[in-house]
């Protein structure tokens, strides 16, 4: 029997607002435990929440970037459950009237485009953090994270493979970063991805029983967990068993998913409207205002850069991986850099320097105008490509311009035919045997003679010009 996987993703993203979603507490959850807290986020009886408008604006921006409709009338609901990380015993979330709904995101896997439906994106509050590593076998709860603005983005069950899920997450993260609404740091939990996975025989309409895989720390982990889960479910069915609806964890070391708890259904949470908050009514003018602030999104920018500058799909992809990289590239081109050469230097040499020093491109000392200046010096023959690599490394560490570095270190390439001619004539006079060999048809000697002139000029001879002058002298 052939099986088909059916996958839906739920992504929780922490929105980078300065204050929490329902109180004025600071959102820095790295502060000492339980210092960024107040009666509201500690769940004291009688306190009243107030919705953070920055959270609404940023959530609308995400919704629009994901082609969602923005609800004209949306409300908050209470999701009831008991757990020590949520002191009021309910989470304020959105149930039947989410802020954003009915959108889509296009992805591409192996050149094939797929449109993934976005069911909804809704606002909620994050929970506190439980710590079980306190000395003496005690557990602690840190409420700094409780009440952080959280946006949950849910897809339709449109994904059909682990690689599609990976492509979806990558594209989504890029959009969130372009919008500058979250740092999307998975290790710190600002972006959490859960996959709902089921399998069904090919051709069957009805969905199989799904499992939910949670707490995976990386996109590649999500991809591996989905692949494992698909194979596991097929094996269960083939052996005559039935898949159990449950939440499963991911053991990255062993590469397996494991059962955590039976999955609750929505009705288990006894959702009801939050009586302490007014509904959220985003009218057309409000929506238009947010739409006007949206930057050019990654897919559009990729396509535009490829068309405008004749870049390969690969280069356009690398250059638009982050908004800052794309900004840097376009600034270098605007400063006069050749578009293809700038693409090569940024994606290869500059990227290597950045990853080596763990720096961000927006902060690096060698700015786009400086890169354009350096490329201009290669173009004019003032420096060779080989010298430029060293020069760029120095620009990167000192912030100096290529011109200054060349002047200070006396690096300038000899591109003056007269100056080269002296060196060439000297070398030919010193090596009469090799000159004879060349004239007798032994072309290989050319390499030796080039090397000698390079040595005589301290490696500064313009290679192309040297070649021309040398051949001309030898043919005399």
Chain residues binding Zn ion by CB under 5 A are 23, 25, 38, 40-41
The pair of three-digit structure tokens given for residue 312, joined into one six-digit string: 């390969």
Could you give the CA distance from residue 33 to residue 195 in angstroms, rounded to a whole number? Answer: 31
Nearer to Zn ion, 23 or 449 (CB): 23
From residue 457, how far is each of 322, 426, 452, 454 by CA, in Å?
43, 11, 9, 5
Nearer to Zn ion, 38 or 474 (CB): 38
Nearer to Zn ion, 52 or 384 (CB): 52
Of 213, 87, 65, nearest in space to 153 by CA: 65
For residue 142, the cross-strand partners are: 129
Nearer to Zn ion, 25 or 366 (CB): 25
Minimum CB–partner distance for residue 40 and Zn ion (Å)? 5
Could you give the CA distance from residue 193 to residue 191 in angstroms, rounded to a whole number? Answer: 7
| Angle at which helices 432-439 and 463-474 cross, to 10° | 80
Nearer to Zn ion, 147 or 373 (CB): 147
Minimum CB–partner distance for residue 38 and Zn ion (Å)? 3
Question: Which 3 state secondary structure label does DSSP give 237?
Answer: helix
Minimum CB–partner distance for residue 76 and Zn ion (Å)? 16
Minimum CB–partner distance for residue 145 and Zn ion (Å)? 11
Minimum CB–partner distance for residue 20 and Zn ion (Å)? 5
Minimum CB–partner distance for residue 53 and Zn ion (Å)? 16
Nearer to Zn ion, 41 or 181 (CB): 41
CA 421 to chain centre: 52
Minimum CB–partner distance for residue 37 and Zn ion (Å)? 6
**Sign for the pseudo-dihedral over CA of 130, 134, 140, 144:** negative
Of 203, 38, 197, 20, nearest in space to 124 by CA: 20
Q: Tokens 């949470």 map to which residue?
A: 269
Nearer to Zn ion, 38 or 450 (CB): 38
From residue 213, how far is each of 109, 150, 196, 197, 259 by CA, in Å?
22, 19, 7, 8, 9
Minimum CB–partner distance for residue 39 and Zn ion (Å)? 7
Nearer to Zn ion, 88 or 460 (CB): 88
Instruction: Look up residue 68 and give its DSSP letter.
Output: P
The pair of three-digit structure tokens given for residue 363, joined into one six-digit string: 């902060």
Which helix (H) or strand (E) segment holds residue 118: the answer is: strand 112-125
């Amino acid at each position: 029997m052939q099986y088909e996987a059916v996958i839906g993703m739920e992504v929780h993203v922490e929105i980078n607002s300065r204050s929490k979603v329902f109180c004025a507490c600071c959102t820095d959850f790295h502060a000492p435990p339980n210092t960024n807290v107040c009666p509201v986020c500690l769940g004291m009886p009688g306190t009243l929440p107030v919705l953070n408008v920055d959270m609404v604006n940023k959530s609308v921006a995400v919704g629009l970037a994901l082609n969602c409709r923005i609800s004209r009338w949306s409300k908050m609901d209470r999701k009831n459950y008991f757990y020590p990380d949520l002191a009021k015993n309910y989470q304020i979330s959105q149930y039947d009237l989410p802020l954003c709904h009915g959108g889509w995101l296009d992805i591409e896997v192996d050149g094939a485009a797929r449109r993934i439906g976005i069911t909804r994106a809704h606002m909620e509050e994050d929970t506190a953090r439980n710590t079980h590593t306190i000395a003496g076998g005690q557990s602690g709860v840190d409420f700094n994270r409780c009440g952080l603005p959280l946006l949950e983005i849910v897809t339709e069950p449109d994904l059909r493979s682990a690689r599609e899920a990976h492509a979806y997450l990558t594209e989504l993260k890029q959009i969130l970063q372009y919008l500058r609404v979250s740092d999307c740091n998975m290790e710190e939990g600002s972006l959490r991805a859960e996959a709902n996975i089921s399998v069904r025989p090919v051709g069957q309409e009805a969905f199989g029983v799904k499992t939910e895989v949670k707490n995976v720390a990386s996109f590649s982990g999500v991809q591996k967990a989905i692949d494992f889960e698909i194979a596991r479910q097929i094996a269960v069915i083939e052996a005559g068993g039935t898949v159990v609806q449950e939440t499963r964890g991911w053991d990255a070391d062993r590469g397996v998913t494991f059962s955590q708890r039976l999955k609750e259904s929505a009705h288990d949470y006894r959702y009801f409207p939050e009586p302490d908050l007014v509904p959220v009514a985003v009218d057309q003018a409000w929506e238009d205002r947010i739409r006007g602030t949206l930057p050019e999104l990654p897919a559009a920018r990729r396509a535009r850069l490829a068309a405008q500058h004749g870049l390969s799909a690969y280069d356009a992809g690398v250059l638009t991986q982050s908004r800052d990289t794309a900004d840097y590239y376009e600034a270098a081109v605007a400063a006069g850099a050749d578009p293809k050469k700038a693409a090569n230097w940024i994606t290869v040499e500059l990227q290597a320097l950045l990853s080596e020093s763990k720096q961000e491109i927006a902060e690096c000392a060698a700015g786009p105008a400086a890169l354009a200046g350096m490329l201009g010096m290669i173009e004019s023959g003032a420096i060779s490509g080989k010298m430029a690599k060293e020069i760029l490394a120095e620009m990167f560490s000192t912030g100096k311009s290529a011109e200054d570095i060349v002047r200070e270190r006396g690096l300038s390439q000899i591109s003056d035919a007269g100056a080269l001619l002296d060196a060439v004539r000297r070398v030919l006079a010193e090596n009469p045997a090799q000159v004879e060999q060349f004239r007798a048809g032994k072309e290989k000697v050319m390499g030796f003679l080039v090397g000698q002139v390079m040595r005589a000029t301290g490696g500064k001879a313009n290679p192309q010009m040297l070649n021309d002058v040398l051949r001309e002298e030898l043919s005399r």
